[in-house]
Structure 1
Amino acid sequence: MILNNNNGLLLMRHDHLHERDWRNDDCYKLIFSPYGQAEYQLNQGDISIGQNEFFIFNPNIDHKQLKATEEKFLVEIQPSLLQETAQQLGFKMIEPEFSLLSYRHAQIHQWTSFIRDFLKVNEDSNPMSNQLFLENSLAQISILMLQYGSGSHQNQFPKIISEKNINNVLDALKDSYQEDWTLDQMSVVARMSKYQFAHFFKEKIGISPYSWLQLYRLFKSQQPLISTDQTILTIALEHGFSSVSSYNHLFKKIYSKTPTQFRFIHGN
């Protein structure tokens, strides 16, 4: 089923789940994987989207769908709508660049579950009611993407609400993200065994504890990168990275560009 208007579209289908051709769309595109193991090929490398995880393509990114399990669900948002929403929400970065990262977030999951159920039940409903539903849905997901999608408009990893022991670890990491945390130290805060904690964290968040910490450091570094003249080395070390090379490597993986290139594009 497809619902579309000038601001974007909602698509859910259970056939043609493999694409042979490369695509390059002039819109933002959110992919949600309800059953897991969705895979896309990019020039920068392959992206795997696990169960109940989401991924956001920026406009004009070459990509090809390799695999989707049972269902393909996506939302396309025209840049003008996302930029208008960003401006209304007070984001300084009104042309956000989302990171090349898939993960889980409860609010995105809840929204997509509701939309998918609506599309299944109302496939043959009144076209006008479907269009009104689409218009409101695109506005809602634009807000959710900006609030919970990691990218250039964020100065930290989007807030995630989880079980108390996981939240305790997240709070501790945020308070001292520059420190050299180990998995053992994190598991003590969570009051779990090291292996139980690592598995539980990955299950709830979609990424490993150390990956979350590194990403939090990266997103915290974006503001001084954009708004100050500090050297890349200084910013890397002040935000908990062991070396400028590890900072550059992660930045390139997340944005397909170096911190210097990111500064040039998004700097004031």
Structure 2
Amino acid sequence: MPSTAQPSAETVQLLSSGLQPPIISSQSYGWENILVEEFHQPPSEEIYHNENKHLLCLSLNQRPSRLFQKMGDRNHTSLFTKGDLSIAPAGSLLLSRWVQDDQYLQILIDSEFLNQIAQQENGKGSNTIELIPEFQSRHSEIEQIGMMLLKELRNGGSAGKLYVESLTNLLIVHLLRNYSSGQSCIACQQGGLSSHQLLHVTDYIHDCLASDIQLSDLAKLLGLSQFHFSRLFKQSMGISPYQYVLQQRVERAKQLLKTTNLPVMEIALLCGFSSHSHLGKWFRQSTGTTPKAFRRSVTTAKPAAVQQ
């Protein structure tokens, strides 16, 4: 079970009497440009303000809960239930008050990183893209990404930073398309990567499997934005960069289990997994067996092959 986390030091919270710290936080996972935290609060009120982070709150309430919100000269009161989304852009002051238990996922996104992606995607140079404040909205794709981040949070970040980077970029693109002042500006490139580009990036992945491969590094190799690189890679390969890297790590582990007597822990590290259990989880998911059982099966199969 994940341990209780302490609130982020970056978050300025006032009128926070009775508020509980997050149930779990990504603060210790090393995720870049995004902070994800799960909360379960008793009836209370809070003022949130952060100059450098955009705030997304995704309701996890299984039963409707009444929530009062105020931003600037606007206020809103409604029943919130699972999937309802609130957005407070960086620099805004959000007052929230609730009279029933409230369960929600809080996502903080670095405003400079969002602007960087917006500039890469829409070619507006130094123009700043502003997010539109939302008290209560619904967006199925953003909800799905939020739940995937929550699952990864509860799993202790086991899928790795490349997976979270991919989700972060996808989340930001959906925000820019649907909740920003330039929401219609992001176009989709078609056709996939060229053969040269594909070979270049897959060779890099093959050579760096033991390292912490990041989406930003792969995109820079080809001079593309992270979002367009991910999209074009999937068009060419049929799977996302994250899935391809994971697939290649498992394949390398299989080869090392077949051809060496290295301990499974050492093989895990050579293939870019963080631990024996990390390798075991993805190896079982891919092959249906454990690394040790796989090694035994290929070892016992060798004499039979020789007799034939």
Give TM-score scaled by structure 2 length: 0.42
Question: What is the TM-score of this pair, normalised by structure 1?
Answer: 0.47
Judging by fraction of residues, say which structure has more strand: 2
**Structure having greater relative contact order (Cα 8 Å, sep ≥ 6):** 1
Q: Which structure's CA Rg is the greater one?
A: 2
